[in-house]
Amino acid sequence: MKLRETRVWRALFRHPLPGSPKERISVITSALILHLHPARVKESAIKIRHTFCLGGITAFLFVLEMVTGVFLMFYYHPSPEHAYQDMEALREIVSFGVMRDLHRWAGHLMVITVFLHMVRVFITGAYKPPREFNWIVGVLLLVLTLSMSFTGYLLPWDQVSLWAVTVASNVAASLPFPGARTLLLGDHTVSGATLLRFYVLHCAALPLLAVILMALHFWRIRKDGGIAGPL
């Protein structure tokens, strides 16, 4: 039996194979996944070589970070007494400890793909009206991605992360906002209070903000008429 004649296929896709433009539009508007795109999109815009799916890959990596991150939360304690040992144990003895490496590598990759995605949007001129608002949302998402990466860096509580955060927080001290450094660290130096602060930012506050902004980003793409085609 052909796949398209099976009950499962028909349950998922209500419409027969499209013929007229009207039928094709109804296939798009009545399917959950296809409905991500507006009813009419430029063929050139959805070609893989136009976007390289970099935004989609970034979104996928974010979901991977959430899933692997939840696994890590079952084990990791955000306190100076336990953090480093927990991290070592995750690498050596804990079942599913591979989640830690996955989390780390996907995090690095996400920083690279979000940057490449921004470069692609810039090169194809997709930041121009009517998409300028979505460009601003994107800039916020870039800042959030870098902030998630930065806050996660301290959590292993090893020498590299301690000194990296010390250096970065000294940069914050040079900002024209008095108290920016203390607000970030929760103390005068990197301490247990900083670890807790970074943990909450990394696991709750920043991902929540990112989810809200991503929803806005995707909704805007849809409302701006789908992906902008080549100029």
Contact residues toward ligand HEM (CB under 6 A) are 51, 53-56, 58-59, 62, 114, 117-118, 121, 124, 126-127, 131, 134-135, 138-139, 141-142, 145, 214, 217, 221, 227-228
Q: Can you say whether the dihedral through the CA atoms of 112, 115, 121, 125 is positive or negative?
A: negative
CB 227 within 8 A of CB 45: yes
* Minimum CB distance to ligand HEM smaller for 32 or for 167: 32
Interacting residues of 29 by C-beta distance below 8 A, sequence separation 6+: 35, 39
Q: Would you say 15 or 120 has its CB closer to ligand HEM?
A: 120
Question: Cβ closer to ligand HEM: 9 or 122?
Answer: 122
Cα separation, 157 vs 83, in Å, equals 6
Residue 68: exposed, middle, or buried by beta-carbon count in 10 A (0-12, 13-18, 19+)?
buried
Distance CA 114, CA 122 (A): 12
Beta-carbon-side half-sphere exposure of residue 28 (alpha carbons within 13 Å) = 15
Q: Which residue is nearest to ligand HEM (CB)?
A: 138
Q: How far is the CB of 189 from ligand HEM (least distance, A)?
A: 32
**CB closer to ligand HEM out of 117 and 197:** 117
Between 201 and 227, CB nearer to ligand HEM: 227
CB of 112 to ligand HEM, least distance (A): 12
Which structure tokens are listed for 9? 């296929």
Compute the least distance from the CB of residue 205 to ligand HEM, in Å: 16
Least distance CB 145 / ligand HEM (angstroms) = 5
State the minimum distance, in angstroms, from the CB of residue 102 to ligand HEM: 18
Q: How far is the C-alpha of 180 from the C-alpha of 185, rounded, in Å? A: 9
